[in-house]
Amino acid sequence: MQAHDGMYIDGAWRPAAGPGTIEVTNPADGSLIATVPAGDADDVAAAVAAARAAFPAWSTTPPSERAARLGALHAALEARREEIAETVTAELGSPIGFSHAVHAAVPVAVCAGYAELAAGYAFEEKIGNSRVFHEPVGVVGAITPWNYPLHQIVAKVAPALAAGCTVVLKPAEDTPLVAQLFAEAVHEAGVPAGVFNLVTGLGPVAGQALAEHEDVDLVSFTGSTAVGRRIGAAAGGAVKNVALELGGKSANVILPGADLARAVKVGVANVMANSGQTCSAWTRMLVDAAHYDEAVRLAAAAVAKYVPGDPADEKTRVGPVVNAKQRDRVSGYIARGVEDGAELVAGGPDAPEGFERGCYVRPTVFAGVTPDMAIAQEEIFGPVLSILKYEDAEDALRIANGTVYGLAGAVWSEDEEEAVAFARRLETGQVDINGGRFNPMAPFGGYKQSGVGRELGKYGLGEYLQTKSLQL
């Protein structure tokens, strides 16, 4: 795609307020792909003003018409699926096959779901002698991450538009090109001017200005818990609505009697997907003592099939991480695991042979990991799996719940009801049972320091609504 040298504000591409730019590079080889403007507080102010001006008309637009615009947006994204996949592969480094199957397909499906949901959602209900209205919150400031760049945009913008809110989007600086592509699709879909606005820029500049802007009614942020804590504090001080989707350190609990081979294979695949850059990845595999050694052997065999490669090659299963800073962070955690006494079963802190130029990390598996180690407590955000041993179900539960996070998890058992009963005791927002597949209409979000609020489906739509009751 051709990068824009301006911001999408009030229905048109306009020059940025300042001269600053952001270089977008390919993490596979470090080559420069494009430059985009680095927006500042003035750009954010212009975008918020446009969103505020557009809100009265959009908020009172019939839900059926809002649904029609979302349907048109879905069609525009569907027509660009190939371009979406290629763009994400270029700026994120995701293998092209994964970009097609996930980075392009999932947000297209989510957009279709919200088009359907918007048409039939009960924005009004009757309770006794009261009429209860679910009304749009107002202007939304959406700050999205780089790891699933289009999915996270659609998961915020689509429900916000369905609810009748207007939006200012500040995408991650590493992956702004797919955000520009999304803005083009919004324009093609006939969404009225000012309803959606895009400001590219750095988090501490444009992102902070958006989060703190007094005319933004709700801040929806996905990213690290550290940044989310600051955004939550700023929003709380302004008595402003906030939705936070933050980090995770999810447990994959394999109970005795489960299909060990399948559980380990799927568990390794889950961690290696997107080069481990998934907040909900099952980065801790918990196995009972009797089956532990076998699980370690199976994991070593499974990870051997994840050979780093060129993300543009259809055969590649694992590409680079997003940038050099992330590569160094992940490699540092791998080195820390070795220093702390974990057993390196596969991988290591050095770059894969032949890929020293790019931002590659060797797919890594640790055994002998104890719950107190940094690699078992802190979010690494790379292709690194820790395998922990437990003695019984209560021990497994204690280990699984023994972090500050609570975003996702998995439970495997030969008895589905046993797995469900165990999952009910996990302090986490969603759990996959025996490999249950992702449901884009089910709520996604975390317990504890993994966030506030939910995304996707009717629960995601509800985040952008406030409630009014009229007593008759």
Tell me the two tokens of residue 307: 């050979």
Rounded alpha-carbon distances, angstroms, from residue 167 to 140, 193, 257, 276, 319: 5, 11, 49, 30, 33
Of 454, 451, 421, 440, nearest to 253 (Cα)? 421
Which run of H or E residues covers position 21? strand 21-25
The three-state secondary structure class of 102 is helix
Residue count of the chain, please give it: 472
Tell me the two tokens of residue 32: 């420069």
CA dist 361 and 355 (Å) reads: 9
Q: From the candidates 245, 379, 455, 463, give the one annotated as an active-site residue.
A: 245
Beta strand 284-288 with 251-254 is parallel
* 218-222: strand order across its sheet: 12-15, 6-9, 196-198, 166-170, 139-143, 218-222, 241-245, 451-452
Of 24, 59, 183, 18, nearest to 464 (Cα)? 59
CA dist 58 and 137 (Å) reads: 12
CA dist 350 and 60 (Å) reads: 57
CA dist 200 and 44 (Å) reads: 9
Do residues 429 and 450 make contact, with C-beta atoms less than 8 angstroms apart? yes
Do residues 342 and 375 make contact, with C-beta atoms less than 8 angstroms apart? yes
The three-state secondary structure class of 254 is strand
Q: Which residues, in sequence order, are bridge partners of residue 387?
A: 285
Active-site residue 418, yes or no? no
Q: Residue 237 carries which side chain, given as an amino acid letter? A: G
Of 111, 153, 159, nearest to 136 (Cα)? 159
Alpha helices per DSSP H over 95-148: 96-98, 105-120
Which run of H or E residues covers position 15? strand 12-15
Of 324, 394, 45, nearest to 199 (Cα)? 45
Q: Which residues participate in catalysis according to the annotation?
A: 245
